[in-house]
């Protein structure tokens, strides 16, 4: 769909370091964390550390996913008047292969969110997107189609996920991927929710415009021994840049879903070495997971919120950004973003 862009005008977040987008983005900028002990115990007998969202009640399971998303959507839509049943909700959740994923999630979560909010979403255009960390990118692609082909005015993208479950944590530890006192090459399980309002055109005072999207598959996953050349991520970035009509050196900084594992940092470095053809003095890479932990499907919404807030507040490294993400089973996604309508400076 070359030449067609969409704009991100409002965002909402619920994370372990902030229960609104302004609070969470300020904490992420300051590199704050809120990692706390869970009631789970690792093989050495130590309490597992996680980035847990502190809510008013000790919600668990589906109830917590719904409550986090409810707060994120309220944060996003607070000043916006929406006629009931007209706004499609594209809801991003964990991929089906993720250990610890709730049973019946795809069928139950949309009606539960609607009931919790007391708000009806579009009955036929709303859907669940179970693609994990690449879900928000896939939702942007679907939202673009709805906005341009169906002539809709707005689409709401929501994302909610939690890795703070017994089965997920046990599997991560078994695979040597959990951050513990004896394993530095691991991640901190987290949980979060986000909401992103997407429209065809930019809105004042500033918008984050999505100019290009790219998707691909990586053969050398974190689960196998195939040599890692970052073929999938490189292809995804190349496709996104082609749609946007620019080169990698035209962008100013990168955002990623990297959450502490060496595999994904190596992949990002390899993709950069293969795609960057013109020398840049610096090309920073931001990884919000340092603050919020591994948040699964929610990381795309977090990255978009960080990019929009950084542009509006003037601490972005320029108007152009590249976001890329990948799932453990090999799916890769890339998004080319540009801030519109706001002065930018550090």
Task: Please identify, in words, the CATH class of the domain defined by 6-199.
Answer: alpha beta
CATH of domain 207-340: 3.40.47.10
How many Cβ atoms from other residues are within 10 Å of residue 207's Cβ?
A: 25
β pairing state of 320-326 and 331-340? antiparallel
Give the integer Cα–Cα distance in Å for 80 and 76: 8
Q: Specify the domain boundaries for CATH 3.40.47.10 within the chain.
A: 6-199, 207-340
pLDDT by 10s per residue, the chain, length 346:
455 899 999 999 999 999 999 999 999 999 999 999 999 999 999 999 999 999 999 999 999 999 999 999 999 998 888 888 999 999 999 999 999 999 999 999 999 999 999 999 999 999 999 999 999 999 999 999 999 988 899 999 999 999 999 999 999 999 999 999 999 999 999 999 999 999 998 877 789 999 999 999 999 998 888 899 999 999 999 999 999 999 999 999 999 999 999 999 999 999 999 999 888 888 999 999 999 999 999 999 999 999 999 999 999 999 999 999 999 999 999 999 999 886 544 4
Q: Among 80, 50, 89, 54, which Cα is nearest to 68's? A: 54
Max Cα-Cα span within the chain: 57
Evaluate whether 197 touches 300 at the Cβ level (below 8 Å): no
pTM over 0.85: yes
| Percentages of the chain per state (helix, strand, coil), in multiples of 5 | 35, 25, 40
The count of residues in the chain is 346
């Amino acid at each position: 769909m070359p030449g067609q862009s969409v704009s991100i005008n409002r965002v909402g977040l619920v994370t372990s370091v902030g229960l609104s987008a302004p609070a969470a983005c300020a904490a992420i900028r300051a590199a704050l964390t809120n990692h706390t002990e869970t009631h789970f115990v690792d093989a050495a007998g130590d309490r597992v550390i996680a980035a847990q969202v502190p809510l008013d009640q000790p919600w668990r399971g589906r109830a917590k996913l719904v409550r986090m998303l409810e707060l994120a959507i309220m944060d996003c839509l607070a000043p916006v008047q929406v006629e009931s049943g007209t706004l499609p909700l594209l809801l991003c959740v964990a991929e089906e292969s993720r250990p610890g994923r709730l049973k019946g999630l795809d069928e139950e979560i949309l009606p539960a969110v609607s009931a919790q909010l007391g708000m009806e979403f579009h009955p036929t255009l709303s859907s669940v997107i179970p693609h994990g960390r690449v879900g928000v990118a896939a939702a942007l692609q679907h939202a673009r189609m709805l906005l341009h082909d169906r002539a809709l005015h707005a689409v709401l993208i929501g994302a909610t996920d939690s890795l703070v479950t017994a089965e997920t944590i046990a599997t991560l530890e078994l695979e040597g991927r959990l951050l513990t006192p004896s394993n530095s090459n691991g991640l901190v399980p987290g949980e979060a929710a986000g909401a992103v309002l997407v429209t065809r055109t930019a809105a004042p005072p500033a918008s984050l415009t999505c100019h290009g999207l790219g998707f691909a598959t990586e053969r050398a996953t974190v689960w196998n021994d195939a040599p890692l050349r970052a073929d999938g991520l490189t292809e995804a970035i190349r496709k996104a840049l082609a749609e946007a009509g620019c080169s990698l050196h035209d962008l100013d900084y990168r955002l990623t879903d990297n959450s502490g594992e060496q595999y994904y940092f190596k992949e990002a470095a390899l993709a950069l070495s293969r795609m960057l053809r013109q020398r840049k003095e610096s090309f920073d890479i931001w990884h919000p997971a340092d603050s919020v932990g591994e948040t699964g499907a929610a990381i795309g919404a977090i990255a978009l919120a960080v990019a929009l807030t950084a542009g509006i507040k003037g601490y972005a490294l320029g108007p152009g950004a590249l976001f890329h993400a990948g799932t453990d089973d090999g799916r890769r996604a890339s998004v080319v973003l540009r801030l519109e309508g706001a002065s930018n400076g550090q």
